[in-house]
Amino acid sequence: MTGLETYKRFIVWRKRKVSDHTFLLVLSVLVGLLVGLAAVALKTAVHMVNQWLLHFNVTTLVGGNLLMVIYPAIGILLTIFFVRFMAGGHIGHGLPSVLLALARGGGKLPAKNMYTSLVASTLTVAFGGSVGLEAPIVSTGSAIGSNVGRFFRMESHEMKLLLGCGAAAAIAGIFKAPLAGVLFVIEVFMFDLTATSVLPLMLAAISASGMANLLMGSEVQFAFVVDGKAPLSHLPQYAVLGVLSAFVSLYFLRVTDKVEGWFAARRKQSHRVLWGTIGLGILIFLFPPLFGEGYAFLTELLNGSNTMIFEHTVFSPLQGNEWMVLAFMALLILAKAVATAMTIGCGGVGGTFGPSLVLGGFTGYFAALLNNQLGLPEMSLSSFALVGMAAVMTGVMHAPFMAIFLIAEITGGYDLMIPLLTASAISYLCISPFEKHSIYARKLAKEGNLMTHDKDSSAWHLMDMRRLIETNFVVVREGDTLRDVVEAIKYSRRNLFPVLTNDDKFLGIILLDDVRHIMFQPELYDNYTVEGLMHPLSEGDIVRLSDPPEDVVAKFRIGNRYNLIVIDDDDTYLGILSRANIFSAYRRFVKESSEE
């Protein structure tokens, strides 16, 4: 018996003997274990290469490590080589591609996505690219979940859920924080928290976290234990931190947009690589904490030491001066966003999850240090750094609960819960008027491809109304007579006849009811032209292809119309949308979404 025959027999046996729900739970555990293994492999490989590279030091006359200029360029060149020659020129990395697969792709992701982001991000970050590994491993985990579902011939809604299981497992595997993984999927991927979805997500997250614990021990990314609860009297300072974090988040979003846009405008890849690697190398030479993910430097800050941030830098003579530390941290916050955007813009592969986490830690540490230097009531540097991590992540990712519980899980308790809630809530409130969507969802939202928790709104946005346009109407042309209209009626099964110019511009419509009283009088056929027979129309009867879906629906609802004429921006006739088709498609979409 061949492998293919065995596979087919297993699929048939499974469908007969094992319920879909039970098998989905089994697959969620399998996905969790596979993604946990991938997360451990990725973090281990990057950590080993980072440590090996940082052992070498070529000091310049002004201090600093000259190799910091060279390492990122090597990593980005290796990444570009891999993407172009070994991954077909495009690897489909990034969470926007995953969100698009959820919204319009039926949860299907290419099989190559199970390894391409993993390899490319390893090359970028291991050699110092200032981006994170979380988004690539989430992309990888999502692809693993999607393709496991496809291999076992699961239904579309089950594949989407397995894709979400892969994403939850990725966060859980990296940080050993299963609850944060589940909340990440719910908030960022817009999954509804239902009895059907929560159990597979939890099983996948717990499996991945267990795999990471088995292979790497129980120590988490930021091994830190909070020393007691924060006094309630400190809440005003944490509230100020929330406001500051919102501004830092907005700065990060705006700068990454501008810098990545600048690189995108460079047509030649060689120019992007040249300017990007030079700029990135100089920034990392001046500020070594920008090298790679930056977690090692952040861990040092959490453990009460800021000496590491000055090691092998041109600023090492300033070490020990707290005001100089403040100035260095401020510059580091400003430079981090630029370095991240440069890494991505010039061809590196990585995500913004890690940078937002590190940036938040720097922001919180800076705020507490400034507070203490000004002689205000003493604040815990480590607690402020941890709360800043959650607050900036909230601003950048619009995922407050994920950010809060991630910090709570990695610190091993909930002593900082009140400050976390305070700062994150204020950060979210402050940034919402400026950014309505997360860094991952903004582009999709502009294109109308974003799935949200509001199923009603998502239905109108995600339905492809172009496919609902009916084109089987017999048209008549300007200058035609009633005779031509009657001839058209013979060959039409519809009671509506668009009137067009010779170059297909829309003029109006003729309804069968409008000519019924004269169509049986042949002597009048040449006495009427179509211009005199057209039915009165208003702007409410016409929609353009570029109109927002809500406007189209509003015209059906408010005007109680049964048909709308569709034209493009040049007034060219495209077809007709019928009320029955639109609302039937809407009901199907909502039904399918509810099942998922």
Domains and CATH numbers, the chain: 12-216 (1.10.3080.10), 232-450 (1.10.3080.10), 459-595 (3.10.580.10)
Read off the pLDDT band of 277 (50, 70, 90). very high
Among the listed residues 444, 82, 67, the one whose alpha carbon sits nearest the alpha carbon of residue 281: 67
Read off the pLDDT band of 439 (50, 70, 90). confident
Q: What are the helix (H) ranges across 346-491?
A: 353-373, 381-397, 400-410, 417-431, 442-447, 455-462, 482-490
**Residue 382 in tokens:** 């480590």
In whole numbers, what is the pLDDT of the chain averaged over residues?
84
**According to the model, what pLDDT value does residue 267 have?**
84
**According to the model, what pLDDT value does residue 135 have?**
87
Burial class (CB in 10 A: 0-12, 13-18, 19+), 232: exposed
Give the percent of the chain with pLDDT over 90.
34
Read off the pLDDT band of 596 (50, 70, 90). very low
| CA triple 58-340-96, angle to 5 deg | 145
Whether the per-residue pLDDT at 527 is higher than 80: the answer is yes
Separation CA 563–CA 565 (nearest Å): 7
Top-confidence residue, 316 or 55: 55
**According to the model, what pLDDT value does residue 307 have?**
72
Read off the pLDDT band of 292 (50, 70, 90). confident
Task: Report whether 349 contacts 46 (CB < 8 A).
Answer: no
Query: pLDDT tens across 448-502, in order?
Result: 555 544 455 555 555 566 778 888 899 999 989 999 989 888 888 888 899 999 8
Whether the per-residue pLDDT at 359 is higher than 90: the answer is yes
Pick from 228-242, 300-314, 391-405: least confident? 300-314
Separation CA 7–CA 12 (nearest Å): 9
Top-confidence residue, 75 or 548: 75
Task: Report whether 109 contacts 146 (CB < 8 A).
Answer: yes
Top-confidence residue, 580 or 369: 369
Pick from 153-162, 213-222, 528-537, 542-551: least confident? 213-222
Burial class (CB in 10 A: 0-12, 13-18, 19+), 376: exposed
HSE, side-chain direction, 13 A CA sphere, residue 593: 24
Pick from 163-172, 278-287, 320-329: least confident? 320-329
Pick from 67-71, 194-198, 200-204, 268-272: least confident? 194-198
What integer is the mean pLDDT of 72-80? 93
Residue with tokens 């059906």: 556
**Residue 200 in tokens:** 């597979």
| CA triple 505-483-478, angle to 5 deg | 15
What integer is the mean pLDDT of 313-325? 75
**According to the model, what pLDDT value does residue 321 have?**
75
What integer is the mean pLDDT of 270-277? 91
Query: pLDDT tens across 24-39, in order?
Result: 999 999 999 999 999 9
What integer is the mean pLDDT of 366-375? 90
Residue 121 neighbours by CB under 8 Å, 6+ apart: 42, 93, 131, 133, 136, 137, 349, 350, 351
**According to the model, what pLDDT value does residue 324 have?**
83
Q: Is the dihedral of CA 76, 44, 140, 461 positive or negative?
A: negative
Separation CA 259–CA 279 (nearest Å): 11
**According to the model, what pLDDT value does residue 456 have?**
53
What's at 550, amino acid-wise? E
